[in-house]
Structure 1
């Protein structure tokens, strides 16, 4: 299976202009509201892409370092993370590859206690909106996909992630409070798309169910269908305790509990992302 996917990727790229065989595609997971499942999606999908035969890099831009923790690393013990990597790049115009950690094939540019300083560092620069884009140009030929986990805020860190990305994915928790954050995120995307990054594409919305029995989930999902249409919606990630258990073991769900609902859903979502990209 892995061999087939890898071969198909190269064959499609060369003959049909699908996924560029030489340049990474960068996908940012963002929502201005916290607790939407953004980190869970970003980490697990990045790990699934590894198992589909793709060279994947996960970048944790959130000072809370949840993606780093999901991957089994302790942020407090990480001496060099994304902040140090970007700071050194600004001084030397090169990226120290040793800052990238690895977990079962997945490459990770982690977050640590210094990530909180990134916003201030970016604000002091003349090219404050495009620092991450320039930084990633030093890395993108080493990977097929770059996945970026972002903080739940409106600021230069999220702005840099969007400017550096080819695609935006917005997780949406199926409750009515999340619709407010979604509206803000959509507005922010359009501003970035029209002023700073015309090639940034909204790849879709990923619904996150809070309960299989909650009527509000179906109500919100129907609202999303009416507003955005089926084409923008991905399969729903159902509520599953295996997600929490897997993260406590520092493993992606599909490796920890391959027969779980979450593993099934995340696999479907990953396959749909790949289908939309090629």
Structure 2
């Protein structure tokens, strides 16, 4: 039985989509069968894995409004071992479409019920807000992975995210856990990055991954070429970090 991980932080610009893309790709690189689900209307996970988000015919939005099933939306083998349910700006209308719909919190969970056993991991990229799309991701997931940028306001909003996870666990999905926190955009040249890491470790009673993702120019460039970092520059420090994160995620299953 595979594991479903939602990558979430309602704060934008923390490396959330970068983490979702590269964790998916690195798990696939390690021989795991992975399904990526793009729940962000910006569609950056979709384009970051090499698809033209504006020309995909069917997206997660079509699943949400009941136009079609996952089998019509899924894009197979965008990379070896990696399938994706793509998204684009159409998904921004989903919030309105869901008004008055019964069991709207469970649409994605129900949609992938029949296919989830085909995958070792399902990685969901959430939008940078605590919306109904994020709630759908959390009712589908077993756990939530939280990327935190190494900057001054890192902890801001995090307590709200944790509160949301606890509410979803309490009312909608009793198996939901916080997978852990991963630090992103770490700059070894600044004291601030180190202070943020220490501050979060002291104040946050959550699992914190040992792997820290550095600020890395190759990581920043890769999405514009529609490639995850392990395809764009497998020798970069960014690739090395996400490979180690994938290893840590896999090792947690064996604990």
Smaller-chain TM-score bracket = over 0.9
User: Residues of 1 paired with 2:172 and 2:89: CA distance?
Assistant: 29
Distance 1:128 1:85, change over 3 A: closer
Q: Which runs of 5+ in 2 are unaligned?
A: none
Please report how far the alpha carbon of residue 87 of structure 1 lies from its aligned counterpart in structure 2 after TM superposition.
2.6
Residues 73-104 of structure 1, C-alpha deviation per residue, up to 9 Å, x if partnerless?
Answer: 2211122111113333xx67xx2423212312
TM-score normalised to structure 2 length: 0.93
Equivalent residue, structure 2, for 1:48: 26
Q: Aligned with 1:180: secondary structure?
A: coil
Residue 33 (structure 2) pairs with residue 58 (structure 1): no
Larger Rg: 1
More helix by share: 1
User: Residues of 1 paired with 2:30 and 2:185: CA distance?
Assistant: 25
Equivalent residue, structure 2, for 1:10: none
TM-score normalised to structure 1 length: 0.86
Q: Aligned with 1:77: secondary structure?
A: coil
CA contact under 8 A between 2:179 and 2:207: conserved in structure 1?
no
Please report how far the alpha carbon of residue 34 of structure 1 lies from its aligned counterpart in structure 2 after TM superposition.
0.4
CA contact under 8 A between 1:169 and 1:202: conserved in structure 2?
yes
Paired residues for 1:166-245 under 5 Å:
166-228=142-204, 231-245=207-221
User: Residues of 1 paired with 2:184 and 2:227: CA distance?
Assistant: 20
C-alpha RMSD of matched pairs (Å): 1.7
Equivalent residue, structure 2, for 1:139: 115
User: Residues of 2 paired with 1:112 and 1:230: CA distance?
Assistant: 33
Q: Which runs of 5+ in 1 are unaligned?
A: 1-19
Distance 1:87 1:230, change over 3 A: closer
What is the count of residue pairs matched by the alignment?
252
Equivalent residue, structure 2, for 1:104: 79
Equivalent residue, structure 2, for 1:148: 124
